[in-house]
A and B are shown apart, each in its own frame.
Chain A
Amino acid sequence: MRLLLVEDEIDIQAFLRTSLEEAGYQVEAASDGKTAEQLAIDGQFDILIVDLGLPDQDGISLILKLRQMGVRAPVLILSARRSVDDRVRGLEQGGDDYLTKPFALAELLARLRNLLKRNSPPGAEATRLRVLDLELDLLRREAIRSGQLLQLTPQEFVLLEYLCRNAGRVVTRSMILDQVWGMRIQPDTNVVDVHIYRLRGKVDGKGQQPLIRTLRGVGYVLKDR
Chain B
Amino acid sequence: MSSKTDRPTIRSAAWRISLWATLAFACGTMLVFVGLHRFVADDIQRRSDAWLSGEVEVLGDVAERTPKDALYGRVVGEVAELAGKEVPNRLLSEGSANDSVFFLQTGADGSLKLWVGAGSGIPNLKAIQASRIVPDHPSDLKVQGFGVPFRVASLHADDGSYIYLGLSERDELRVLRSLRLRFILLWLVLVFLGFCIVFFTTRRMLSHVRRIADAASTIGHSDLSARVPTSNRNDEVGHLALTLNRMLDRIENSIHQLHTITDSLAHDLRSPLTAIRGKLEMSLSATFEGEQAEPIVSAIDELDRLTDFLNKSLDVAEAKADALRLNRGEIDLDELLRIMINLYEPSMSERELTVKLRSSGPARISADAALVHRMIANLFDNELKHLPTACTVIVSLQMNRDSATLILDDDGPGFDSDVVPDLFERRVKGKGSKGHGLGLAFIDAVVRAHGGTVKACNRSEGGARITVQLPAAAEQLAGPFAAVKR
* Chain A residues engaging chain B, CB cutoff 8 angstroms: 9, 11-12, 15-16, 18-19, 53, 80-86, 100-105, 155, 177, 181-191, 194-195, 197-198, 215-218
Contact = CB atoms under 8 A, between A and B. Distances in A.
Nearest to B300: A217
Contact of B344 (A83, A191, A215): A191
Interface in B298-357: 298-301, 303-305, 307-308, 311, 314-315, 325, 327, 339, 342-344, 346-347, 350
A106 B297 CA distance: 15
Interface residues of B, number: 57
Contact of A189 (B267, B288, B384): B384
Contact of B282 (A19, A102, A198): A19
Contacts of A104: 277, 281
Classify the interface of chain B: helix, strand, loop or mixed: helix
A186 B374 contact: yes
A195 to B, nearest CB: 6
Given A9-B271, A195-B346, A216-B294, 15 more contacts: A9-B275, A11-B275, A19-B281, A82-B262, A101-B274, A102-B270, A102-B274, A102-B307, A181-B343, A191-B344, A194-B347, A217-B296, A217-B297, A217-B299, A217-B301
A175 to B, nearest CB: 13
A197 B347 CA distance: 10
Contact of A81 (B267, B274, B277, B281): B267
Contact of B275 (A15, A100, A190): A15
B38 interface: no
B318 to A, nearest CB: 9
Secondary structure of the A contact surface, majority rule: loop
Interface of B: 262-263, 266-267, 270-282, 284-285, 288, 293-294, 296-301, 303-305, 307-308, 311, 314-315, 325, 327, 339, 342-344, 346-347, 350, 370, 373-374, 377, 380-381, 384-385, 435, 439, 485-486
Given A12-B278, A191-B347, A218-B281, A82 B297 contact: no
B84 to A, nearest CB: 99
B370 A184 contact: yes
A72 to B, nearest CB: 28
B429 to A, nearest CB: 13
A81 B311 CA distance: 10
A98 B446 CA distance: 23
A12 to B, nearest CB: 5
Contact of A181 (B272, B339, B486): B339
B263 A82 contact: yes
